[in-house]
Amino acid sequence: MTDASLSTTHLNWERYGQGPDLILLHGWGMNSGVWQHIIESLSQSFTLHLVDLPGYGLSHHQGCQSIEDICECVLRDAPQKAIWLGWSLGGLVATHIALNAPDRVHQLVTLASSPRFAAQGKEWRGIAPKVLSNFTVQLTEDFQGTIERFMALQALGSPSAKQDIKCLKEVVLSKPMPDPQALSLGLKLLAEIDYRAQLPQLEMPLIRLYGRLDGLVPVSIAHQLDEQLTEQSHIFQSSSHAPFISERAQFCELIRSRLSIECPAMEALDHQ
């Protein structure tokens, strides 16, 4: 593994490895520490750019009021053009950037993410609005307990659930707890954003990755979007919401193989 170089301006960034630029965006309540166990493998093929989103981890001092603010902060110190991989809420952020700043995105990868997280009757499965509203209330009553319950929810159903939860806690709690306002904004975005109609407008390659046992982003969403989009999804059979933890080796191999196939010209990219 190569040493990290930390950005001292704006958000907290860590960079590892050599190769095409690959930006990793974490999910709600988490921080860039979630990627710790895949850095060594992927940094052999890519220059990894890990960022703590505004209000999270070592970027907990940075406040934002909207997804536009979040994306502006992230783009400020991001590579001029890169592959963007967003997990869960990070997938919404990466999708927003791909839709509104397509010149900055070579390829979009969404992991255990959805263009609309909130359920919409029988038409669209997702997180029940009551669950999201309950998390909002619980944040004020039991801040750390709410974060830990969400970690457990992300691993629910996985054959390695206990190990996955332990892994998430170790890496996430190694950094400062997220800012409550950032958490509230994140829940608002999960409840309100709907990018389903815009996805077909994306011109860059899109890879969608899911966990078969995911209770937050049901696998039925993958099948619904398969009918609308030219790119087909990939489903990790033994994973819930965190395939990069539950099936680490398979995840890293897929990322290396799919990105080299989809973006063969990226080997010659000049990192600026």
Segment (H or E) for 98: helix 89-100
User: CA-CA distances (angstroms) from residue 36 to 69, 149, 207, 258?
Assistant: 26, 21, 22, 21
User: CA-CA distances (angstroms) from residue 45 to 38, 120, 189?
Assistant: 12, 40, 33
Indicate which residues carry an active-site annotation: 88, 214, 241
Per-residue burial over 62-85, b = 16 or more CB atoms within 10 Å of its CB, e = otherwise: bebeebeebbebbeeebbebbbbb
CA nearest to 238, candidates 147, 167, 163:
163
With contact defined as beta carbons under 8 Å apart, do 12 and 51 qualify? Answer: yes
With contact defined as beta carbons under 8 Å apart, do 182 and 28 qualify? Answer: no
